[in-house]
Amino acid sequence: MATIADENWMSIVSIVGLMARADFDLLESAGKLGRVRKDDLERRIAEYGCTLVPLPAEARSLAEAFDRPRGEILVDVPLWTKEEGRSDLTLQVVCARRKDEKWDVVVHDVLVA
């Protein structure tokens, strides 16, 4: 299992904050959407039928990180909703180191358990 660097965790918290505000346009314009399209992400969350909220502190200890090829890290992050608390939704993000040694963190998918 891989480790989630502090800077990557802060990016994840920021991404979930934008999702909780339903600011999918900003996610897209900031380059935070990887393989998932803005419309698909928005639709999946709307179809789930609950309101996303920012991540609580305990989310970090529940997130799971996995090494991928080329030094990437895939992180599964449980999501919370206003109605349920911890939900059946999982955000997948990919963390990839750029040539300048900084990290890009992008949404890979949102899954429903």
| Cα separations in angstroms, 113 against 6, 8, 19, 85, 92 | 27, 24, 19, 15, 13
Q: What is the pLDDT of residues 1-51, one digit of tens each?
A: 789 999 999 999 999 999 999 999 999 999 999 999 999 999 999 999 999
Q: Mind listing the domains of the chain with CATH numbers?
A: 6-112 (3.10.450)
Q: Whole-prediction pTM value? A: 0.94
pLDDT at 87 over 90: yes
